[in-house]
Structure 1
Amino acid sequence: MSTRLEHNADATRYEIYLDDTLAGYADYAESTTGDRKVRDIQHTLTFPEFRGRGVAAQVVEFALNDARAEGFSVIPTCWYVEKYIAEHPEYADLVG
């Protein structure tokens, strides 16, 4: 099964595709205060038929890595993103 991760900036979300079928996503809101850029990751969703395959973890990891690369800090409004960061302390520096 092929996996593709994409940043869909027009829809303000990160998407994961399994065999070219949308399997889930993490949506966000973006803001800037002065020189501080923030992505508030508000919701993570895995479609029922793809649950139990690590889809949410993959899309959240992709979102966090992209936020870091783009110079954003992250607000983990979504409970799953908050839990993921707590379990992966290498992303704790993004929270702000």
Structure 2
Amino acid sequence: MDADITVRNNTGRGRYELLDDGAVVGRAYWAAFDGPAGPERIFFHTTVDEDRAGQGLASTLVRQALADTARSAIGIVPVCPYVKTWLSKHPEQTGVVAVRPEHLAALPSAEPTA
């Protein structure tokens, strides 16, 4: 991974951000949810800027976002198709919670904006 690539959780915007030399080039959006076993984070949309596609950046973003979420003892709810696919290739990831109808009902109705 490029030394200038970092990932941060922007809790105010409900997303993990992938930064390249300080510029946001990718986003993994999440919604907080109060689950029956404790707090959960519903990951519902992941995107990387089009000009950065094909460089493995979405995988870097999702890997770090899910690892940070699991370290924080927050359940991971994979609604986003990319997150679901990533998890299918990384069964070692802990903290995954099955998607339930109430998770879907809690999501924002509009597509997130950059």
- Fold match (TM-score > 0.5): yes
Identity, in percent, stands at 27
Distance, in Å, in 2 between the alignment partners of 1:35 and 1:83 is 24
Cα displacement string for residues 7-46 of structure 1 (whole angstroms, at most 9, x for unaligned residues) = 1000010000112221101000011135511110000001
**Paired amino acid for 2:16:** Y
Aligned position for 1:20? 22
What are structure 1's unaligned runs of at least 5 residues? none
Aligned match of 2:85 in 78, 83, 86? 83
* Higher fraction of helix: 1
* Higher fraction of strand: 1
Distance, in Å, in 1 between the alignment partners of 2:40 and 2:67 is 14
Distance, in Å, in 2 between the alignment partners of 1:33 and 1:53 is 35
Aligned position for 1:65? 67
Distance, in Å, in 1 between the alignment partners of 2:65 and 2:84 is 13
The two structures have a TM-score, normalised by structure 1, of 0.92
Cα displacement string for residues 26-76 of structure 1 (whole angstroms, at most 9, x for unaligned residues) = 000011135511110000001101111111101101111111111111111
**Paired amino acid for 2:85:** K
Deviating above 4 A after TM superposition, structure 1's stretches of 4 or more consecutive aligned residues are: none
The two structures have a TM-score, normalised by structure 2, of 0.78
**Paired amino acid for 2:91:** P
Aligned position for 2:105? none
Superposed CA RMSD in Å reads: 1.2
* Paired residues, number: 95
SS in 1 for 2:17: strand
